[in-house]
Amino acid sequence: MKDVERTGKHMSADWTTDNILELADRIIIVTGANSGLGYEAAKEFARRGARTILACRDMDRAQSALARIRTEIPDAPAEIMQLNLASLKSVHRFAEAFVSKYDHLDVLLNNAGVMFVP
């Protein structure tokens, strides 16, 4: 906390998602975006205009998450892509699909947990 104080910055409990700036023209991948913190982060990024990719292992749950986002934010620039971080094949497929569609990535939010790495 000392470093934060020395730079003149402070932490505040008053910060909310309303403080997130406009994110149009940004491309953001959120792993594990079908529930919990990943879902909430993806929803707020999409609300701010970021092209948001919900990278999820289970496509049924991903589709449900996207539908919930679109219920709240009908024009949300969000999509789902399958990604199972426990499978190197899945990671490679995801990467190939992503680079075939997009020319850059602005943010990668690694939210999904992995117990056993491939």
Domain ranges of the chain: 22-109
Kindly tell me if the per-residue pLDDT of 6 is higher than 50. no
Q: What is the pLDDT of residue 1?
A: 41
The top-level CATH class assigned to 22-109 is alpha beta
Measure Cα distances from 104 to 53, 56, 86, 87 in Å.
Answer: 13, 20, 24, 23
User: Which run of H or of E encompasses 79?
Assistant: strand 78-82
Q: What is the pLDDT of residue 46?
A: 97
Q: Which two tokens stand for residue 64?
A: 């449900």
Can you give the pTM of this predicted structure? Answer: 0.82
Q: What is the pLDDT of residue 2?
A: 43
Residue 28 pLDDT class (50, 70, 90 cuts): very high
